[in-house]
Structure 1
Amino acid sequence: MARRRVRYSDKDNGSIILRIMCAVVFCVSAFLYLFVYQQDVIALRLSRLFDGDGYYVPLVFSVFGVLACQVLQLVCLHVFRHEKPLCAVTYFPSLALLWLIAEFDVSDAGGWAVLLTLVLMPFVLMFMLGRHGFFMWQVRHVRTLSRRMWINVMFLSAGFILISCCSNYDDVMRFRLKVERMIASGRYDKALGAGYYAADTDASLTMLRIYALSKSNRLGERLFGYSLSGGSGALLPDGKDVKFLLLDDALVYGYVGLDAAEYRGFSALKHRFFKEKGCNGPLADYVLCGYLLDKNLEGFVKSLLACGIKDFSSLPRHYREALVLYCRTRSGHILTYKNEAMDADYADMQALGKKYMLSPKERHSAVKDAYGRTYWYYYYYVN
């Protein structure tokens, strides 16, 4: 008996193309959402869930997350099997799953609103389709560049935009999470690159950058190239305003040779520093930068002399900038330092500030553009 050849209509072929296109768009977008955008957030959530003992491999987790969402979509596709032209709606429960994984907070009313929107969206769209014929069914078949194809892609894109915009974590939190993960893996260069050009910061992010710079032997060279906050109180975690999200406080305390129990602010660091009579390890840089963060040039100079440094020309950039500022602004100073290039730059910065004396905003902007990564800018323009 001869087997009859099955012929697929253009409509069947169109439905297959539509499903493939939606699957490709969703899987690629979901992978990027989990692996790139939410990688650090998921690390935090798993760390809290397992009390810091969770083992998180971003690539593996992202792949399994996308597979779980695709399985859920296949279930939804069976439920809405009679509404094939709007294939994108079957992915909205999968978008809700992505939101649950990365962003959902039980105590957040906004999170519940987003979750309900994603879950109920398929039913709302199906109602509109059945009641009003919607606006897309004028196109008879689904072709590669058809109107129906792009409407489905548009709905998927709108869903990803919704869950990306309704985030529970601001930029500073994401910077902190990335820096901590990079520090944990010893990739200090990548840690220092997180949010380098961003103006937003907080004391905890400042503490993380100080630690990463010190581990890279660039603390006195690059610290004031970042937006900073918290003064000397941001040197070490205090469990309140300055704290880790993923790492342990003992990591930094052990690094500077201080016990967490004896830490009582910057004074504890200064006491340990002078007790050891001018150590040259990380503690020395922490104390020197602590004075600079507090704009205490006298304390900085005294601590610098306690280190027994004779050749000031070999000091890191920000230390030399502080010495130029000290010699220019203090009378009866206990040391003399001259650097022709830096003296000229300092004079140019002062002249630039006087040029816009009648417009504080323009003066601030002009000086920041030219000298925003110097200690001088921090001293005069950062509160």
Structure 2
Amino acid sequence: MMSNSGQFKDGTGIMRLVCAIFFILFTLLYLNKYQPDILAVTQHVLSHGATHYNNVVGTILITLILWLIQAAIYAGTKLNHRAHALTYLPSMLLLAVLTDVSPNLTSGNYLGVWAWLFPLLMVVYACVVWFFKQLEPMEPALLSSGVFSRLTWVNLLQLVSCAFIVCSIGCSDAVFHSRMRMEGELMKGDCHEAVGVGRTVAKVDSSLSMLRIVALTKDRSLCERLFEYPLIGGSDAMLPNEKSVKLMMLPEDSVYAIFGIVFKEKMRPLTYLKCVNKSKYANKDSRDWLLCAYLLDCDLDHFATALPRYYKVNKPLPKAFREALVLYNHLRKRPLVIYKDPAMDADYEDFKKVYYQTSNAIARLSNVKDGYGTTYWFYYLSHSGSLRH
């Protein structure tokens, strides 16, 4: 048997060291930077909320376990040449399985097809390892050694390929990542960090829309910044319904705690908010949510009717309300609320000019998105389909 010093002299030791460094660095970065929120929700769901994932401890522990698995496989196979990278394959596959999580995760469906596919792949893997082990005595002599040897780069290329496969199998759903990150930040009480999550992600679902509304409420900037984010689902996305709008880690009670009351009868968010505002539990947040609910549904008439009950229209208003009133006054011949804001009126006229530059509906949206994508006008246009009554 070749000693460790002999292996380093013939180049295999350096090759193994380079492979180990690559594997450890990739695993650490993949777990710590890319998948921590997915691992957090996985642990939460599988433990039924009894335990919480610690990113630092979890990353180190998982990396160590996977590296020990590789070390055990190497000790048993002694694959030491062009097929050495195969000793990392089970660890890489386990890493992929661990992070192959969907938004429909439950404690009963975590493994899914992996429950039978992983054992099958391991049987195939054992056959492949045996085959390459038989070929090792026929390996040609190494013409070079060290970091830049062909042996090192052949194995490194195999590991890079495995890394790409791991990334393709693991959860890459940007919306789900954003949701879990936001839930994690809200659970920690860091609402300021939560409102910045996924801001540049164009895709959105109803659950993410609800989380943004909750985060902005806790950050005291709901009516100012709500329509600066992509939103979907209208007012129905404001509260969890356990179907299209749901929470994975954050307790539902933390959402209803904003209003201090939960009705026994399950209601649509708009109905719930109307009931809250008729009760003794009505507060500033419940009123703002009701006004935002009307805006999310593009219901400018009910918004204009309700706004004077809660705000003095001749006083400074939040950005979203100002934009909605300007739009309302331009769309209605006889508005119930007269509102003038010269600067914003001028901006709206510029918005219309850009919008009417073309007759193509898709091109119109694209034209106004760059300059006005964070305004209520763009939200109204993209959800109602036109700038008409």
TM-score, normalised with respect to structure 2: 0.88
Answer with 202-211 or 249-258: which moved more: 249-258
Match of 2:44 among 44, 47, 62: 47
Find the residue that maps to 1:255 and give its secondary structure: coil
Distance apart, 1:131 and its partner CA: 5.1
RMSD: 2.7
User: Is 1:234 aligned with 2:230?
Assistant: no
Structure 1 partner of 2:361: 360
CA contact (8 A) 1:99 1:115 kept: no
- Give the residue type in structure 2 aligned to 1:269: L
Match of 1:88 among 62, 85, 89: 85
Pairwise CA distance, 1:96:
2.4
Any stretches of 5+ residues in structure 2 without a counterpart? 102-108, 385-389
Instruction: State the identity %.
Output: 32
Q: Which among 306, 309, 324 is matched to residue 306 of structure 1?
A: 309
Asked whether the equivalents of residues 365 and 382 of structure 2 are also in contact (C-alpha less than 8 Å), the reply is: yes
- Aligned 1:198-213 pairs, distance under 5 A: 198-213=201-216
CA contact (8 A) 1:196 1:226 kept: yes
Aligned position for 2:327: 325
Kindly report which structure 2 residues correspond to 1:192-341, keeping only aligned pairs within 5 A, or say none.
192-265=195-268, 266-275=270-279, 280-312=283-315, 314-341=316-343
Give the TM-score, by structure 1 length: 0.89
**2: CA distance between counterparts of 1:133 and 1:367?**
67
Taking the aligned partners of 1:133 and 1:189, their CA distance within structure 2 comes to 61
CA positional deviation for 1:275: 4.1
With a CA cutoff of 8 Å and minimum separation of 6, indicate the structure with the bigger relative contact order: 2
Task: Output the amino acid matched with 1:272.
Answer: V
How many residue pairs were aligned?
374
Question: Would you say the 8 A contact 1:262–1:268 is kept in 2?
Answer: no
Alignment of 1:53-202 (within 5 A): 53-103=50-100, 108-109=112-113, 113=117, 116-117=120-121, 120-121=124-125, 123-124=127-128, 127=131, 130=134, 137=140, 139-168=142-171, 170-202=173-205
Alpha-carbon spacing, 1:210–1:7, altered in 2? closer, same or farther (3 Å): closer
Distance across 1 between alignment mates of 2:11 and 2:148: 11
Deviations 1:327-364 (A, max 9, x none): 1111222221111111111111111111111x222222
Q: C-alpha distance in 1, partners of 2:110/2:247?
A: 23
Match of 1:380?
381
Using the alignment, how far apart are the partners of 1:121 and 1:184 within structure 2?
A: 42
Match of 2:258, SS state, is helix
Q: Is the 8 A contact 2:205 2:231 kept in 1?
A: yes
CA distance in 2, matches of 1:82, 1:25: 18
Task: Give the aligned residue type for 2:199.
Answer: Y
Describe the shift of the 1:337–1:13 C-alpha distance in structure 2 as closer, same or farther (beyond 3 A): same
Give the Cα separation in 2 of the matches to 1:115 and 1:318: 55
Work out the CA distance in 2 between the residues paired with 1:90 and 1:156.
Answer: 10
Structure 1 stretch displaced more, 109-118 or 15-24? 109-118
Q: 2:370 maps to which residue?
A: 369
SS in 1 for 2:326: helix
> How big is each residue's C-alpha offset from its partner over 1:119-138, in whole Å with a ceiling of 9 and x where there is no partner?
7447426625745999x957
Whole-Å Cα distance in 1 between the matches of residues 110 and 190 of structure 2?
A: 34
How many angstroms apart in 2 are the aligned matches of 1:143 and 1:168? 36
TM-superposed CA distance for 1:230, in Å, is: 0.9
Q: 1:111 to 1:198 in 2, by over 3 A?
A: farther
| Aligned partner letter, 2:193 | K
1:133-152: CA deviation from partner (whole Å, max 9, x where unpaired)? 99x95743432111221121
